[in-house]
Structure 1
Amino acid sequence: MDFTKVTEITKASNTSFFYSFLLLPKAKQNAIYSVYAFCRISDDIVDDEAEREIKLKNLKNWRESFLDALKNGTKDEILAPVVHSIKKFNISEKHFLDLLDGMEMDLNEVRFSTFEELYDYCYKAASTVGLMCAEIFGYKNEKMKKYAEFLGVALQLTNIIRDVKPDAQRSRIYLPKEDLEKFGVSENEILSLQTTSKFQELLRFEGNRAKEYFLKALKNLVISDKKSFFAAEIMREIYYRLLLQIENSNYSVLTFRPSLNKITQVKIALKVWFSCQFSFSK
């Protein structure tokens, strides 16, 4: 199986995702890169500058191509590695379809009335990826599925807080309406990028909620499976640091974008990898 294209796509992303998986065995690394490439292509369809109807059609075609590849096989340089990885690691195709459902939600007017609705979106947009990765990493305890689900929610909530500005510029508001009302923040204030003390308190509330899900993930991290999940732990550490940067900026996300340079990410990766290799079950 040729993983050249999916590897190129992952490397070109220059994201923390790539640095988190450098230390994986080659077979698992290839599978992760295949998953990432699938996500990247899906995301690019949604974020394209084309009209909404065209993007919906392209996403529908991508879904149909995926299902056809699963059923009949394919030589496509992205879908072939994806199908190979699904079969090799017994990954549920439902995770991929749920992910595409989450992507489609981004093409509608993004508004959520409650956190329950936002959670469903976070699950589809991020927890699904975590659950795919969990099958690739391998686990003995079923609690690791909850770890993957909660970590996905924590990462997505962090993304939502970080990306309030670019999302608002696309007329997307992911923060639940019930939370906006609780803090007296209007949709117009967000869409017009107004920094107010109420807005910062709203984001602080969401930041604390993200922290809760980082903690929930940790509580479901089984020590005997920690070694296999070192890449996920690297992602957790990187994103938690980004969240702390946002917190330390007093949630000034309209003027500040948190980031970690490559050297810092590599240092985190090595530190977490070493820690996971020497974690022992009690």
Structure 2
Amino acid sequence: MMIDSGLPSSEAARRASGSSFYAAMRILPQPQRQAMFEIYSFCRAVDDIADGYQADSEIRLEQLQHWRSQIDAVYAGKPLSNLRQLADAVSTFDLRREDFLAIIEGMRMDVVSAMRAPDLSTLDIYCDRVACAVGRLSVRVFGMEENAGIALAHHLGRALQLTNILRDLDEDATIGRLYLPREALDDAGITTSDPLTVLSDPAIDKACLMIAARAHQHFTQAEMIMARSPRRIVRTPRSMAAAYRMMLNRLTARGWRAPRAPVRLRPRQLLWIVLRYVV
């Protein structure tokens, strides 16, 4: 079976243009910007596999394994021709193989299990793989000091992923997923793990507020780390944090009881946030 895993640089930029982080990535100098486009494009590609319900789980696992092989080839100095710019980013910014593989493992979690009300420990592992590993790659591109960068990836990655979970409840439920942890549901008195039933329960607010509080704690820790870092180095992550914290505040103000109106930031709002951190 032939699997097309490569993405040309133009495709990397095109995929990134659909991200809510695009404006924040655009303010980076060209080498860093291209590296972030390549990282985002890789993440988008493996995420598309995890969410590809047109294919059965065995095919999707095979596709993820193929990506793992291609990452191994990049680090062996034998990348596919259309992964050469990703290989350039790996070399230029000393990106770690284990972080790419962690992202693939996070996507694998979505394929091998239904991800319905995981316990907090499992959810934390998932967040570390699908979000914090991306952060660990990103902070190397930004040029952060090692320890500060790892700490920022730990907190900001979790903050962003928990916000995504709270934003995408209905979208995830349509494909049978529920990332709210079992402990939050139990605390709210919700005993089922069926996504649609959980989302129609009036106690959903209590469960979501527990996760929102965790996200806010991680945002606060991330902001403290960035405040101690050179401003020019953390312009992009500060923009990302500000945009997502605004989204989290709006989700909290709206609440999570049905019916839930979608919460999205408008392009001009994202641009305004980015411009705050350009200088």
- After TM superposition, the score normalised by the length of structure 2 is 0.91
- Cα drift, residue 238 of structure 1: 0.6
Distance 1:198 1:112, change over 3 A: closer
What is the alpha-carbon distance in structure 2 between the residues aligned to residue 124 and residue 227 of structure 1? 27
Which of 39, 46, 66 aligns to 1:42? It is 46
Contact 2:199 2:257 in 1 (8 A): no
The root-mean-square deviation of aligned C-alpha atoms, in Å, is: 1.8
Which of 7, 12, 16 aligns to 2:13? It is 7
- Cα drift, residue 264 of structure 1: 1.1
Q: Deviations over 1:73-111 (max 9, x none)?
A: 23432x221111011100111100001000100112214
What is the alpha-carbon distance in structure 1 between the residues aligned to residue 32 and residue 73 of structure 2? 24
Which of 147, 159, 170 aligns to 1:142? It is 147
What is the alpha-carbon distance in structure 2 between the residues aligned to residue 35 and residue 272 of structure 1? 22
The runs of 5 or more residues in structure 1 that have no matched partner are 275-282
- Cα drift, residue 197 of structure 1: 3.0
| 1:237-248 alignment runs, 5 A limit | 237-248=242-253
The residue that corresponds to 1:185 in the other structure is: 190
The residue that corresponds to 1:117 in the other structure is: 122
The residue that corresponds to 2:89 in the other structure is: 85
Distance 1:247 1:69, change over 3 A: same
- After TM superposition, the score normalised by the length of structure 1 is 0.90
Distance 1:157 1:254, change over 3 A: farther
Distance 1:256 1:50, change over 3 A: same
Moved more, 106-115 or 150-159: 106-115
The residue that corresponds to 1:212 in the other structure is: 217
Distance 1:218 1:194, change over 3 A: closer
- Cα drift, residue 141 of structure 1: 5.9
What is the alpha-carbon distance in structure 1 between the residues aligned to residue 37 and residue 181 of structure 2? 32
DSSP 3-state at the match of 1:221: helix
What is the alpha-carbon distance in structure 2 between the residues aligned to residue 98 and residue 74 of structure 1? 19
Moved more, 204-213 or 107-116: 107-116
The runs of 5 or more residues in structure 2 that have no matched partner are 1-7
What is the alpha-carbon distance in structure 2 between the residues aligned to residue 207 and residue 162 of structure 1? 10
Q: Deviations over 1:41-75 (max 9, x none)?
A: 11111111211111111111121122123214234
What is the alpha-carbon distance in structure 1 between the residues aligned to residue 257 and residue 203 of structure 2? 12
Q: Deviations over 1:130-166 (max 9, x none)?
A: 1101000102362232012100000000011111112
- Cα drift, residue 123 of structure 1: 0.6
Give the partner amino acid of 1:127.
C
Q: Deviations over 1:3-45 (max 9, x none)?
A: 323112212x2x2111111111001000000100100111111
How many residues are treated as equivalent by the alignment?
A: 270
Moved more, 56-65 or 104-113: 104-113
1:31 aligns with 2:35: yes
What is the alpha-carbon distance in structure 1 between the residues aligned to residue 192 and residue 227 of structure 2? 41
What is the alpha-carbon distance in structure 2 between the residues aligned to residue 24 and residue 72 of structure 1? 27
Give the partner amino acid of 1:86.
V
